[in-house]
Structure 1
């Protein structure tokens, strides 16, 4: 085996190292519990649908994005910190699945934050429409039949005409732009925040690289130790995993909070969170 080849070795993880992962896991479960209790939006809220409102789906759209974010992080939580553990159970942590699920959480939640963060309702509507048209464009590309594709293209053309743009001039949002906009919204001018745009950009590119099997993430986020006979053992860097998971948790939590605010449920949010905590503790104890 050449020096460029490697074997992934198992290494026991101590409690202090894994504790941030457990905290993220439990936070994901709490957010997933609270989120559906924020629907429907309350009467008079900024997300409450009204008759003949062409943007009546904005609440469900953002809810669906946050639900996807929670689904990804809860799937990871059920693997890394299951509520029921067999005495002989063993959990093996590998880099790429963790980074991939965290990336999906960040991208899904960032879209909802991007739509909901502006104070001006018209700005929120503009962003929602851009996101909806982009989604329709992707659905069109994935259409299973020519008939379905033609129907989707006609619907898209109607929306673009109403917006006064063409397919060529329409600018779809980009994941990185929405992720960085969310980072700026969450921290603003807080110079003391560790979550700078540069750091968030680096983390997101790392998760994308890991999800796509890029070799640079394999080398950068693993510790290597020679094991003789030109064999090298590689183990994922625990700090890198913690960093990625904390950002995913930050975006999911922020998305649920701002959704509660826009949906008119902010006054009940603390009680909803406390109730979810009690339900989680009950699940853990039974």
Structure 2
């Protein structure tokens, strides 16, 4: 991978994220529980089977994992015209989901958002269990037991919710962008990134056209050849918003985990 001056300028802020990503990687090795009396400690009481603090933390941890994978490819001098952006879409989802849960100052809203994510997780688990077929009798009995426990958990989570809205990731992305970035331009750029990387995740290809250079079209067919070798600038455009949102998410998590004084 040859590096021009413009490429180097695009890569520099990505490489500078390494210390934060390493620090967050080390944090993920041990369970971090909120201090007694903190916002998240109080949030967690509503559904002890799955702490809201850990739902938020897991979202942040997985976001960092995706960012490290994207950065590992850069260190290996490999740029991918589509798969880099599939990975970075995962980073954006994790960071946004964590920020979305943690950002409201209203405890009822934080709890409802955490329980909304949990409801989606349980729903997808249920669909997976229902899809299993051709199991042995022993395996089927184990799956049936897990489905029974899952049904109990779903009912318990539903009972303590204040609403019934499902998880809408497009709304989550926008709300978290607005909480993280000050300018409307940044908000729209993040939403555009979310829409564009959908094409990468679903292998539809049109997003790669935006990252390609085109040769002269054939005079007979009007069709030209596109080249998409991978661009540091394009990777930076997807990497940096997710990284900055993740940094904001960890800051929120730490603040919500600290014991509140004077209350």
Would the TM-score normalized by the shorter structure come out above 0.5? yes
1:67-109 Cα deviation digits (max 9, x unpaired): 111111112222322xxxxxxxx62211222111111011011
User: Distance in 2 between the 1:45 and 1:17 partners?
Assistant: 40
| Superposed CA RMSD | 3.0
When the two structures are superposed, what TM-score results if normalisation uses the length of structure 1? 0.73
1:28 aligns with 2:21: yes
1:54 aligns with 2:46: yes
Give the direction of change, closer, same or farther, for the CA distance of 1:149–1:250 in structure 2 (3 Å limit). same
Per-residue deviation, 1:226: 5.8
1:5-60 Cα deviation digits (max 9, x unpaired): xxxxxx6223334223312344422333356678222232112269x923341111
User: Distance in 2 between the 1:16 and 1:39 partners?
Assistant: 36
Question: Does the CA contact (< 8 Å) of 1:94 and 1:236 recur in 2?
Answer: yes
Give the direction of change, closer, same or farther, for the CA distance of 1:133–1:231 in structure 2 (3 Å limit). closer
1:179-223 Cα deviation digits (max 9, x unpaired): 111111123xx44x6412x22111111112112211211211122
Q: 1:44 aligns with which of 37, 40, 61?
A: 37
Matched ranges for 1:69-84 at <5 A = 69-81=63-75
1:126-171 Cα deviation digits (max 9, x unpaired): 1111111111111111114561334423432343245477xxxx32
User: Distance in 2 between the 1:154 and 1:43 partners?
Assistant: 28
User: Distance in 2 between the 1:245 and 1:265 partners?
Assistant: 33
Q: Aligned with 2:41: secondary structure?
A: coil
Give the direction of change, closer, same or farther, for the CA distance of 1:158–1:21 in structure 2 (3 Å limit). closer
When the two structures are superposed, what TM-score results if normalisation uses the length of structure 2? 0.78
Give the direction of change, closer, same or farther, for the CA distance of 1:36–1:45 in structure 2 (3 Å limit). farther
Q: Aligned with 2:92: secondary structure?
A: helix
Give the direction of change, closer, same or farther, for the CA distance of 1:60–1:95 in structure 2 (3 Å limit). same
Paired residues, number = 239
Give the direction of change, closer, same or farther, for the CA distance of 1:155–1:60 in structure 2 (3 Å limit). closer
Unaligned runs of at least 5 residues, structure 1: 1-10, 82-89, 267-286
Question: Does the CA contact (< 8 Å) of 1:31 and 1:252 recur in 2?
Answer: no
Give the direction of change, closer, same or farther, for the CA distance of 1:164–1:21 in structure 2 (3 Å limit). closer
Q: Aligned with 2:229: secondary structure?
A: strand
Unaligned runs of at least 5 residues, structure 2: 133-139, 219-223
Matched ranges for 1:227-246 at <5 A = 232-246=226-240
User: Distance in 1 between the 2:203 and 2:229 partners?
Assistant: 16
Q: Aligned with 2:79: secondary structure?
A: coil
Q: Aligned with 2:35: secondary structure?
A: coil
Give the direction of change, closer, same or farther, for the CA distance of 1:227–1:24 in structure 2 (3 Å limit). farther
Q: Which moved more, 1:28-37 or 1:98-107?
A: 28-37
1:254 aligns with 2:248: yes
The residue aligned with 2:95 is 109
